[in-house]
Structure 1
Amino acid sequence: MAALAPITHFDVCNGLVIEKPQAEQLVAQFGSPLMVLDCDLIRTQYRALQSALPNVDLHYALKPLPHPAVVTTLLAEGAYFDLATNGEVDLVQSVGVPSERTIQTHPIKRDIDISHALAYGCNVFVVDNLNEVEKFEKYKDQVELLVRVSFPNPEVLADLSKKFGCLPEDAVTLIQHAFELGIRIKGLSFHVGSQTKSGVKYADAISKCHHIMMAVINAGLPALSTLDIGGGFPVKYTPEVPNIADFCAPIRDALAKLPETVRVIAEPGRFIVATAVTNIASVMGQAVRGGKTWYYLDDGLYGSFSGLMFDEAKYQIDSALTTGERFMSVLAGPTCDSIDVIREEIMLPKLENGDLIISTMMGAYTSCTATDFNFFKRATTVVLNETAVNELIVSA
């Protein structure tokens, strides 16, 4: 393999930036489309959040980017891990994550999900209803539970409290029932939604959880020792998103009011990985329609841009060619489905077949939700800086 020229610089609103010569070199070596993952940016984001929440143990939620390089990078940083499925259990186990650094947080589980996590050694689970608590009666000597509480947040795209969590006023009853079954309740958890706009939402939920913890003690039940404040920390897809230190200020203030005996954990996902991946796609062909040039790429909505269908991510998309007059254009994906359009209005220079389009901020909910629809192959992932600068690891 030829030596790779220096590749990256980083901008808080543009993520991993790859210049035209390096993009062309990567495509020449590994083909197109590509997802370029820089582990240095994983470290940068993890450290930024750890600095903003200095007394919180960060459990990376694998869901947005379940890649082994992300897990090993974060493990070396001292991270913990938030698991929700048997496949995620298998992934962390395969790369040597100690089971005591994990929790299983899916509020609804089959018995096989419980037994699979326990076989690995993960023994902390999340519940949010009586039916779920009762599934753990036969495992009561092995498990500790967190009760998930619902705090609706209509200001976010994905209000996870709509689907999961018990009402705050029902939490003590749920804990009482578990106590009667001989099951240990370790603490509480919540999730205020994805890409949350204000840290005040967390602060309010923390305060309400503190009241529940006091109510548990007043009911004569064992004191709770853990509070999981979830994820949803916002990524700077746009400049108006506050920096993470400012965003977390009200969270820090609220946490300072908790008893010192309470361990606080969080479940960041998108914040850790969104900036770390850049997509490189090639122009397959082009046509003029309605006075605009349509450029058909070898990646699209059914591939790495799948998040455009359901997520609020705002990818930064541009041509690797940055010179010349620009014209209103359309970027379309490769499949035969007419819905497969990435951007209907984008100013681009005149491109030739084979020219490259570079899209940044594509680490979260992109490759993990890509499909093989129409038998177009998913983008290959190229890993940078997993162990040393410019060392590359390639995975299909």
Structure 2
Amino acid sequence: MAHSHSVLSFQSFTTQTLSADEIQLIESSVAQFGAPLLMLDCDSIRRQYHALNDALPNVTLHFALKPLPHPVVVRTLLEEGANFDLATSGEVELAAQEGVPAERTIHTHPIKRDADIRDALAYGCRVFVVDNLNELAKFKPYRDEVELLVRLSFRNAEAFADLSKKFGCSPEQALTIIETAQAWNIHIKGLSFHVGSQTIHPQKYVDAIRTCKEVMEQVVERGLPALSTLDIGGGFPVTYTRQVMPIEQFCVPINEALNELPETVQVLAEPGRFIVAQAMMSVASVMGQAEREGQMWYYLDDGIYGSFSGLMFDDAQYPLVTLKQDDELFPSVLAGPTCDSIDVIAEDIMLPRLENGDLVVGCMMGAYTSATATDFNFFKRAQTIVFNEHMVNSERLIG
């Protein structure tokens, strides 16, 4: 359950310092709702969306629901003019419930069941992704209703998640798919790729864009209909504990590569993490402590199986800060609440001496946290509280 409030925007979600106003807000929220909590700031979502939109001025942004499929996130971005990237029938259902026009969506999961296709078509989504002939054949019954993007693979060992390991085809395979689609009277709209989550170097995009340009040229050379769309995926980086390039600088070479495409090519992107990562902070409470091998272990009421699931699934390193400030620091460990020994959030970190009930804040907690949290060991996942949604009745329950 989440409440919505209107407050000053959280300014330091990405830092390891909290302002007095933020500390007061955190403490009052815990007093009202208890811990653990996730605090979601809609103003941060707006800022990040417009920052990327400004950095990629000729690209249509489709927010990928996967990292934070929260109704408030969908509503906020819908009001800002965003489009949406859906990958499952559950995401289709959420978009439909929140009134997202189907023409502002694409369905980008490369592997689908027939029911997934039918659910998306019933909603009105028409653009899908394929990366192999087996998948292409699934669209034979729907050839008059769909437009397809062929996804290419570009391996990226530096990415948090090398999505081209699991999905995508070679340029040669893409041409075979496009030729086969022509024979089957299935419309291929364009190409897509995803260079991998949290990609640090923009050159990965540049190389992929130029390869896709070559494939588009080869399509025309073979006498096939020209492709009209290129989807450059997501993966735009954010700063956790390691500084990354500012997004406007990061996108300069990407824009230069995109300018080499024919003017008739429409360009899409699928940002997820970049939009929502810094929009949420977690608040956990110390529920117990013990000294082990010279370090203080603090057991929190949130952990790896909850909001910190990204430590396992996403390889993210979240900035952590305690509300208690003290000049004297001690080697410490932060552990989660479950009876599982892998449920450890951070080791060998320097913290002040904490007491039971003290609060520990995680920053940059918007992406792949609540989305992948569980109720393992029957520890309930953290409640989400929403700020700055700008509703008429700011205290209305929103789900």
Q: What is the alpha-carbon distance in structure 2 between the residues aligned to residue 346 and residue 129 of structure 1?
A: 47
Residue among 284, 296, 299 paired with 2:299: 296
Matched, 1:330 2:327: no
Counterpart in 2 of 1:77?
A: 80
Q: 1:7 to 1:13 in 2, by over 3 A?
A: closer
Supply the distance in 1 between the matched residues of 2:353 and 2:18 (Cα, whole angstroms): 24
Between the aligned partners of 1:7 and 1:214, the Cα distance in structure 2 is: 47
Does residue 41 of structure 2 align to residue 8 of structure 1? no
Return the offset for 1:157.
2.9
Partner of 2:149: 146
2:160 match? 157
**Equivalent-residue separation in structure 2 for 1:126 and 1:336 (angstroms):** 41
* Superposed displacement of residue 15, structure 1: 10
CA distance in 1, matches of 2:18, 2:134: 45
CA drift of 1:151 comes to 1.2
Note closer, same or farther for the CA distance 1:261–1:13 as it changes in structure 2 (3 Å cut): farther
User: 1:102 and 2:105 equivalent?
Assistant: yes
1:84–1:106 contact (8 Å) kept in structure 2: yes
Q: Does 1:269 align with 2:272?
A: yes
| 2:188 is the alignment partner of 1:185 | yes
Q: 1:63 aligns with which of 40, 63, 66?
A: 66
Give how far 1:19 is off: 3.0
Q: Deviations over 1:192-249 (max 9, x none)?
A: 0010011111011111101111111111111111000000000011353100011111
User: Aligned equivalents of 1:118 and 1:389: distance in 2?
Assistant: 34
In terms of mean alpha carbon deviation, does 307-316 or 143-152 score higher?
Answer: 307-316
- For 2:118 and 2:295, locate their aligned partners in 1 and report how far apart those are by CA, in whole Å: 56
Aligned partners of 1:319 and 1:356 also within 8 Å = yes
Indicate conservation of the 8 Å contact 1:385/1:392, yes or no: no
The answer as to whether partners of 2:285 and 2:301 remain within 8 angstroms in 1 is: yes
**Secondary structure of 2:307 counterpart:** coil
CA separation in 2, counterparts of 1:249 and 1:393?
Answer: 42
CA distance in 1 between partners of 2:17 and 2:48 (Å):
11
Among 357, 360, 375, the residue aligned to 2:360: 357
TM superposition shift of 1:4: 8.2
The alpha-carbon distance between structure 1 residues 253 and 80, as it changes in their structure 2 partners (threshold 3 A), is same
**Tell me, which stretches of 5 or more residues in structure 2 are unaligned?**
none
Q: 1:176 to 1:311 in 2, by over 3 A?
A: same
Aligned residue for 2:263, secondary structure, equals: coil
CA shift, 1:386, in A, is 1.0
**Identical pairs, percent:** 64
What is the alpha-carbon distance in structure 2 between the residues aligned to residue 300 and residue 255 of structure 1?
Answer: 42
Structure 2 residue aligned with 1:366: 369
Partner of 1:135: 138
- TM-score by length of structure 1 reads 0.96
1:389 positional shift: 11
Aligned CA distance change for structure 1 residues 161 and 372 (closer, same or farther; 3 Å): same
What SS class does the counterpart of residue 12 from structure 2 fall into? strand
CA distance in 2, matches of 1:96, 1:350: 49
Shift in Å, 1:6: 5.1
Post-superposition CA distance 1:84-124 (Å, at most 9, x none): 00000000100100000000000000000000000000010
CA RMSD of aligned residues (A): 2.0
Q: Which residue identity is paired with 2:301?
A: D
Q: Is the 8 A contact 1:4 1:390 kept in 2?
A: no
Alignment check: 8 A CA contact 1:15 1:275 kept: no
Residue 323 of structure 1: how far off its partner (Å): 3.0
* Distance across 1 between alignment mates of 2:350 and 2:356: 17
Q: One-letter code of the match for 1:108?
A: I
TM-fit CA distance, 1:7: 6.8
The alpha-carbon distance between structure 1 residues 29 and 270, as it changes in their structure 2 partners (threshold 3 A), is same
Q: Which residue of 1 aligns with 2:351?
A: 348
Which structure's relative contact order is higher, taking Cα pairs within 8 Å and 6+ residues apart? 2
| 1:103–1:122 contact (8 Å) kept in structure 2 | yes
208-217 or 237-246, larger mean C-alpha shift: 237-246
Q: Name the aligned partner's letter for residue 136 of structure 2.
A: V
Residue 36 of structure 1 aligns to a residue whose secondary structure is strand
CA pair 69-268 structure 1, distance change in 2 beyond 3 A: same
The Cα shift of 1:20 comes to 2.6
Relative to structure 1, the CA distance from residue 319 to residue 103 in structure 2 (aligned partners, 3 Å threshold; closer, same or farther) is same
**Residue deviations 1:132-190 (CA, integer Å, cap 9, x gap):** 10100110000000000111112223111111111112211110100111100000000
Q: Distance in 2 between matches of 1:7 and 1:166?
A: 43
Query: What do residues 273-318 of structure 1 show as CA deviations (whole Å, max 9, x unaligned)?
Result: 0000000001111111112221111000010001111322121111
Deviation digits for residues 23-70 of structure 1 (CA, Å, limit 9, x no counterpart): 110001111100000000000100110111000000000000000111
Instruction: Select between 341-350 and 25-34 the one with higher mean Cα deviation.
Output: 341-350
Equivalent residue for 1:280?
283
1:256 lines up with 2:256 in the alignment? no
Quick check: 1:16–1:277 contact (8 Å CA) kept in 2?
no
Paired amino acid for 2:292:
R
Which residue does 1:50 correspond to in 2? 53
Q: Out of 384, 388, 392, which is 1:381 matched to?
A: 384
Distance (whole Å) between structure 1 residues aligned to residue 150 and residue 396 of structure 2: 40
Q: 1: CA distance between counterparts of 2:107 and 2:207?
A: 25
Unaligned 5+ runs, structure 1: none
Contact persistence 2:16–2:320 (CA under 8 A): no
What corresponds to 2:174 in structure 1? Answer: 171
Tell me the amino acid that sits aligned with residue 126 of structure 1.
Answer: V
8 Å CA contact retained: 2:302, 2:308: yes
Amino acid at match of 1:248: C
Aligned residue for 2:128, secondary structure, equals: strand
